[in-house]
Amino acid sequence: MRFLPKKSSGWRWLYPGMGVKRWLLLLVLGVTCIGLGFAYFLVNVYRQQPLPTAFYYLTLQFVPRLARAALFGGLGLVAVMIAVVQLSRSLLAPFLRPGQEVAKTVYQHRQRGRGPRVVVIGGGTGLSTLLRGLKEYTSNVTAIVTVADDGGSSGRLRRELGVLPPGDFRNCIAALADAESLTTQLFQYRFSGADSLDGHSFGNLFIAAMADVTGSFERAILESSRVLAVQGHILPSTLSNVTLCADLRGEDEAAGALSRVEGESSITAAELPIERVFLQPDKVRAYPETIRAILEANLIVAGPGSLFTSVLPNLLVEDITRAIRASRALKIYVCNVATQRGETDGFSVGDHVEALQRHVGREVFHHVLVNDNFDVKLNPNTELVSLDCEAEGGYQVVSADVIDPQQPWRHDPQKLARSLMNFYLEIRDWRLEIGNWKLEIG
């Protein structure tokens, strides 16, 4: 997406894709017709009725006719343009934040509406980070969110009210909301002191209340998105009540013994190497709108986020994995910047992709986006994911500096989104060139 210069904001109304020029042309045509009609009337009056001498000077009779036409036409055009701009500002003022320019806002809205259809699969902080960057490029974003969370406020609401865990949905709504800063502060606000509310976030309670009002969790997410002017869609991977389970390798790996734990929060708390994760029950139906979004997507992104507890729980829904295989979209996995304690300790890029392929197959994601900036200062307990990977691992590595300089263990939203959009545009253009070449030689 090309951002506009700060100067000459009035000319933005004439930019391609605004959907404004045609109506301005019609307005000018209408005003011209009215002006011609009025001119014919004045000519008739001027020629047939005797007028005072003052009208000779008021109508500039002492100026050549072509000069008069240019003068009055120019004044009329300036008046029309000022009127249109000010009228637009007046009409759109209730919908704009302070300091927003009308033309720039309309132009960016049009451009984002023409952006690619992007499906992002994951959960946790990584998913909301990516959404925060992607919404600057396209409003056709669909976030597919895991429903296996069982810890914290989400876990309590899940057990006490029987709703799907709202925590990751809350983060996505805050990231995609129009007034992101204020919405994030409100939705992330946590109560303290009161026994019944202690630890609960306002966003989780809001979604739970909306589910009760609307009658279903998916309807609650839809209505919450409308209320908060969310750009894009947020969908659950499944509406089934699933539990994420894992087989963990013991400290004595030589013995080959595996221990099984149930619950997402229990997996990372065990701090043991993860052999595999799976859902209970294992045969669950995907949410239908999720499948539709995948099949219609131009770009499918898995991650970033906790590999075993945020990304894979979505892909373990078999309908989703089958839909990704069937989709003609570009497919890419975003590897985490840093390893995650209790989950991917010591993992390289190759280890991340190997675990992904071990669970869903080698033919699902053909590209992996990795960070190549290691010139950062980290805490002693933080380790960046190394670039070690198999030469023939069935995937292509796309590297870029996607690190957040303020929090070098996380992705930067703008850098990550820009890298993904550059990847999409490069592959799309390459496909177009190949298609044109085939047509020429055919």
Q: What is the pTM of this model?
A: 0.78
Mean pLDDT of 376-390: 87
Per-residue confidence (pLDDT) for residue 73, from 0 to 100:
80
Per-residue confidence (pLDDT) for residue 3, from 0 to 100:
42
Q: Which of 364, 313, 336 is nearest to 123 (CA)?
A: 313
| Per-residue pLDDT tens digits for 314-345 | 999 999 999 999 999 999 999 999 999 889 99
Mean pLDDT of 76-82: 81
Residues 420 and 400 sit within 8 Å (Cβ to Cβ): no
Residue 218 located in a structural domain = no
Residue 6 located in a structural domain = no
- Please count the structural domains in the chain: 2
Q: How far apart are CA 220 and CA 209, in angstroms?
A: 8
User: Do residue 44 and residue 134 come from a single domain?
Assistant: no
Which residue range forms the structural domain that includes residue 296?
116-147+237-441
**Beta strands per DSSP E along 16-139:** 118-122
Residue 354 located in a structural domain = yes
User: Do residue 128 and residue 29 come from a single domain?
Assistant: no
Angle at 239 between CA 235 and CA 240, to 5 degrees: 145
User: Do residue 421 and residue 325 come from a single domain?
Assistant: yes
Confidence band (pLDDT; 50, 70, 90) for 258? confident
Q: How buried is residue 103: exposed, middle or buried, by Cβ count under 10 Å (0-12/13-18/19+)? A: buried
Last residue of a domain, one of 93, 125, 156: 93
| Per-residue pLDDT tens digits for 263-276 | 998 998 888 999 99
Confidence band (pLDDT; 50, 70, 90) for 5? very low
Residue type, 105: T
Query: Is it the case that residue 435 has pLDDT exceeding 90?
Result: no
Query: Is it the case that residue 93 has pLDDT exceeding 60?
Result: yes
Q: List the CATH number of the domain containing 122.
A: 3.40.50.10680
Residue 166 located in a structural domain = no
Buried b or exposed e, range 256-275, using 16+ CB within 10 angstroms: eeeeebebbbbbbeeebebe
User: Do residue 71 and residue 37 come from a single domain?
Assistant: yes
Residue 12 located in a structural domain = no
User: Across all residues in the chain, what is the average pLDDT?
Assistant: 85
Residue 110 located in a structural domain = no
